[in-house]
Structure 1
Amino acid sequence: MTAFAPDWLYLREPADAAARAAELLDPLREYLDDEVVIRDLGCGTGSLGRWLAARLPGPQHWILHDHDAELLDRARASLPETALDGSPVDVVTEQGDVTALRAADLAGTSLVTASALLDLLTKDEVTALATAIVEAGCAALLVLSVTGRVELSPADPLDAAVAAAFNAHQRRITGGRRLLGPNAVDVAATVFGRLGATVVRAASAWRLGPDQAELQRQWLTGWVGAAVEQLPELRPVTDVYLQRRLEMAAAGELHAVIHHGDLLVLPPSLEVAA
């Protein structure tokens, strides 16, 4: 699994919080019992837990999963102590590979959550995770998976070429694993559907304006850097392109919409309330 610096995760947290599809929470609340066990996969610094715990009622027991011990320590210390209705929230951590989880590991879990995870997985890994979730009878809230669409304003003739190379990088083979990248939401929705689960999809775009110049700067640098890593022949033109875009971001002249997708998954025997 990819490692992410804590500073980057904290920087993106407000954009993540604004982007997540809050409309998925009403049917989720309808499904959940009064007391829930939530397993957050690839939890990072705990951003999703900080956002979600305070939006769900009732006592909550969170189990945070990540391969990074430092991130687990940060996450455990930062989740809210109380739920939406003032009920207690308690937190434990489990270090390990989230792709190794199977149905038996999820026994007793009410809800599996993950943020910005699916696009880092392979088709086989998503299939195994979906199978584990469905066989364990859990709900799942899987949010902020990239979908490959980026809108920059004002537009630039090189935008499309950089986006295409970046998307190819997201689908690259690494360590013998073919990542799903922008295909992740479609693949996961299909797999869950074939397993009989109810799947609700929602859009969740980052919308970055002039007040988020530092996030724009870091995102642009990573976006263009990944594109050039995938297609080195772009470098002669992207060096100038990146500098131009960074200057626009610093001047407050750039707007960026980076599209993501969210999935709510409910067990096969349940349906989303109308």
Structure 2
Amino acid sequence: MSEVIEVSSEWLALREPEDARARSRELARAAADRLGPGPIAVHDLGSGTGSMMRWLAPLLPGPQTWVLHDWNPGLVERAADGGVPVDRDGRPVRVAIRSEELSHLEPGDLEGASLVTASALLDVLTLDEIRAIARACVAVGCPALLSLSVTGRVHLGPADARDDLFAAAFNAHQQRRVDGRALAGPSAVADARRLFVEAGWNAREETTFWRLGRHDPDLLAQWFDGWLGAAVEQRADFEVPAAAYRALRASHLRQGVLTATVVHTDLLVWP
């Protein structure tokens, strides 16, 4: 999986405030209501530098132990940078780190879990990898809060006739094959929900949004470059029209009028 997901700590830090604003607090409260009395153990899959922990820990009871699973040790080992978060009663959480691939998650990897979490993960997995997560969660019987999965829906402003063309190419890129792995992309949440429901579990979704604009031009610029770059990577014949489109959007960014609404889905599942 490491060959598929190559992100920098700088990108994760840049997007963390918008991630925190976008995630569903309603689903977080619903997850908290399904936890028993503490202590609790939260297993965060694809944790990166720990942004999910920093956002969710203060919304959950304690005492808490967070087990951070990630295949990139350079990211996960930075989870405690800037201090350890506290639970909703003000107690510091305990943090454990597991640097490992998630391609074949087993129930034993989640032993003792009270809650499983993930953020911006499902859409970069394959159906088999999502199935492995579902099977492991069902086996241990704990709820899972899976946030910020892409839906493929993006709304740019000012609107341009070419927006849908590049969006379709980006979505195809999200479902490409990489080293024999067929990524789930925008179908990931529907796949995950189906797998849990087939196991007899409950599922609840909330639509969540990144709302990018002049308040955070650096995030908007980097997101747009990545979005358009992926579209052109998928469709090399788009390179020439993409140059003019990029120039137009760069002008909009300089003028402070460029906006992007990126639609995600947060999913809570429980026995």
TM-score, normalised to structure 1, is: 0.95
Instruction: Measure the CA separation in 2 of the matches of 1:218 and 1:25.
Output: 28
3-state secondary structure, aligned to 2:27? helix
Residue number among 6, 11, 19 corresponding to 2:14 in the alignment: 11
Instruction: Measure the CA separation in 1 of the matches of 2:12 and 2:184.
Output: 21
Matches within 5 A, 1:136-175: 136-175=140-179
- Asked if the contact 1:210–1:252 (Cα under 8 Å) also holds between the matched residues in 2, the reply is yes
CA deviation digits over 1:7-62, x for unaligned, max 9? 11111111111110111022211111222101111111111111011111221001
Deviation at 1:211, TM superposition (A): 1.0
Deviation at 1:129, TM superposition (A): 1.0
Read off the aligned partner of 1:248 and give its amino acid letter.
H
Deviation at 1:79, TM superposition (A): 5.8
- Asked if the contact 1:54–1:80 (Cα under 8 Å) also holds between the matched residues in 2, the reply is no
Residues 199, 222 of structure 1: CA spacing in aligned structure 2 closer, same or farther, 3 A cutoff?
same
Identity %: 47
3-state secondary structure, aligned to 1:210? coil
Instruction: Measure the CA separation in 1 of the matches of 2:80 and 2:202.
Output: 31
CA deviation digits over 1:166-200, x for unaligned, max 9? 00000000010100001101111111110111111
3-state secondary structure, aligned to 2:231? helix
Matches within 5 A, 1:8-157: 8-33=11-36, 34-78=38-82, 80-157=84-161
Query: Residue in 2 aligned with 1:205?
Result: 209
- Which deviates more from structure 2 when the two are superposed, residues 110-119 or residues 21-30? 21-30
Deviation at 1:123, TM superposition (A): 0.8
- Asked if the contact 1:202–1:263 (Cα under 8 Å) also holds between the matched residues in 2, the reply is yes
CA deviation digits over 1:131-177, x for unaligned, max 9? 11111111111000100000011100110000000000000000101
- Asked if the contact 1:17–1:51 (Cα under 8 Å) also holds between the matched residues in 2, the reply is yes
Residues 79, 266 of structure 1: CA spacing in aligned structure 2 closer, same or farther, 3 A cutoff?
farther
- Asked if the contact 1:50–1:79 (Cα under 8 Å) also holds between the matched residues in 2, the reply is no
Instruction: Measure the CA separation in 2 of the matches of 1:207 and 1:173.
Output: 29
Where do 5+ consecutive residues of structure 1 fail to align?
A: 268-274
Query: Residue in 2 aligned with 1:271?
Result: none
Read off the aligned partner of 1:97 and give its amino acid letter.
E
Read off the aligned partner of 2:143 and give its amino acid letter.
A
3-state secondary structure, aligned to 1:201? strand
| Stretches (4+) displaced over 3 A | 76-81
Instruction: Measure the CA separation in 2 of the matches of 1:46 and 1:170.
Output: 24
3-state secondary structure, aligned to 1:76? coil
3-state secondary structure, aligned to 2:215? helix
Instruction: Measure the CA separation in 2 of the matches of 1:255 and 1:239.
Output: 19
Read off the aligned partner of 1:200 and give its amino acid letter.
R
Read off the aligned partner of 2:25 and give its amino acid letter.
A
Where do 5+ consecutive residues of structure 2 fail to align?
A: none
Deviation at 1:81, TM superposition (A): 3.9
